[in-house]
Amino acid sequence: MEYNPDAPWYRRLHWQVLVAMGLGAVAGLVFGEVGAEKVGWIGDLFMKLLRMIIVPLVLTSIVSGVASVGAGRDIGRLFSKTLGYYLLSSLMAAVVGLMMVNLIRPGVGAGDALGTAASREMPELDTPDSAVDLLLDIVPTNFIAAASTADMLAIIFFCIVFGASITTLPERPRTVVTDIFNSFFQAMMALTSGIIKFLPIGVFALITRMTGTTGFDSIAVLSKYFVTILSGLTIHLFLTLPLLLFLLAKISPWTHFLNMREALLTAFSTSSSGATLPVTIRTVKERVGASNKVSSFVLPMGATVNMDGTAVFECVGALFIAQVLGFEISLGAQFVVVLTALLASIGAAAVPSAGLVVIFIVLEAIGLGGNPGATMIVGAMLAIDRPLDMYRTAVNVYSDSCGTAIIARSEGEEGVDAEVR
């Protein structure tokens, strides 16, 4: 199936998704848990379809992208730009979170109300214990094992070094191998387009389940905390990242935002940067217009390590807990919170609720790790985490696409975000 920007389904897709979201919200509110149960499997099926294509898509995208970058120095340059951007944007996100939590002080006096908030069981997720662990995790002992467990950082590492070694081959084998990977990549993109056609149905089911099961009463109890996170995410999405787009690349933030609409809606509905990755890759290529060379560097790695929304969340969440427990957090300790929030956002997996699990890394750093009160508050936060998770995932994905656009422009790709497509 060839990509055709004029195909009617493609042009209308974001409207279809928006309508599906509205219908899903109404269905969830009207039918509650029953509705959630009835259509939940459709959401699961759609998530499985998206996740099914992640590994082969990332593999072919990175290998063909890196192989076409050319000489080693180019790879080094792209790599440093990418890491530089991740660090800059996530740090800014954490600082935005810090400002908002100090301004609104949502935790002060929230202790009583928290006792009434429902708590649920924490999901079990694997998270690295330290920066060294994170580094060791990146190098796989067995690539096939890494691919079979969708261990993204390990897969990305292997694909980058494999792609780089292709560039050192003599002309004939180099073009043969590069062509093969390019062709496989195109096939994966065609498959992605096919799956994305079902986006409205998947979104409808996911939103029905979300509104049918999230306790809106608990949101009222934690409303100040909720508002603090929402405003931090909103500032980062509509102010900080647009500023970076404009100042670093002279890109119209509005154009980029509109070009990214399908990926943002998908991130919002799935709460998973990982599951959204196929849509992100396709949207950045077809709508934003960035090359595979740049997007294959920034997007797959970004989905796993560059999580600005999660960084905002970690900062606000940890300081909220400290406020509820009545701890005064000194300026020095706030600095530690910013740095560990950054680390936690890197360590968080690209799946729903991962951000809430890694908050213990930040709590540990400020001495609240084993505090039973803190654990209870995290339980209450979990009860209302889904809508916040949806929003922060959209911010996570948006930061990756902004990075791709900025780096692509710096590499001379003038067509990037030249118009709304």
Residues that bind ligand ASP (CB under 6 A): 271-273, 307, 310, 313, 348, 350-355, 389, 392-393, 396
Residues 6+ apart with CB under 8 A from 372: none
Q: Between 75 and 233, name the residue whose CB sits nearer to ligand ASP.
A: 233
Select 63 or 344, whichever has its Cβ closest to ligand ASP. 344
Identity of the residue, 64 or 353, whose beta carbon is nearer to ligand ASP in the bound complex: 353
User: Contact 279/192 with Cβ under 8 angstroms?
Assistant: yes
| Nearer of residues 199 and 346 to ligand ASP, judged by Cβ | 346
Q: How far is the CB of 67 from ligand ASP (least distance, A)?
A: 28
Looking from the CA of 200 toward its CB, the CA atoms found within 13 Å total: 14
Contact status, residue 329 vs residue 337, Cβ threshold 8 Å: yes
Residue with tokens 């985490």: 385
Q: How far is the CB of 345 from ligand ASP (least distance, A)?
A: 7
CB of 233 to ligand ASP, least distance (A): 11
| Tokens linked to 139 | 């190098």
The answer to whether the beta carbons of residues 88 and 212 sit under 8 Å apart is no
Pick from 69, 2, 53, 48: which is nearest to 296 by CA?
69
Rounded to a whole number of angstroms, the minimum distance from the CB of residue 279 to ligand ASP is 13
To ligand ASP, the closest distance from the beta carbon of 381 in angstroms equals: 12
User: Based on CB atoms, which residue is closest to ligand ASP, 262 or 413?
Assistant: 262
Within 10 Å of residue 164's Cβ, how many Cβ atoms?
A: 18
For residue 78, the minimal CB distance to ligand ASP (Å) is: 23
SS3 325: coil
Q: Which amino acid is at 142?
A: N
Q: In the complex with ligand ASP, which residue's Cβ is closer, 289 or 352? A: 352
Residue (205 or 267) nearer to ligand ASP, CB = 267
CB of 380 to ligand ASP, least distance (A): 17
Q: Among 24, 51, 26, 29, which Cα is nearest to 39's? A: 24
**Least CB distance from residue 113 to ligand ASP, whole Å?**
24
The set of residues, in sequence order, having a beta carbon less than 8 Å from that of 163 and lying 6+ positions away, is 62, 63, 64, 65, 66, 67, 69
Is-contact 313 229, C-beta < 8 A?
A: yes
Q: Which is nearer to ligand ASP, 296 or 310 (CB)?
A: 310
Look at phi and psi of residue 159 and say left if phi exceeds 0, alpha if psi is from -120 to 50, else beta.
alpha
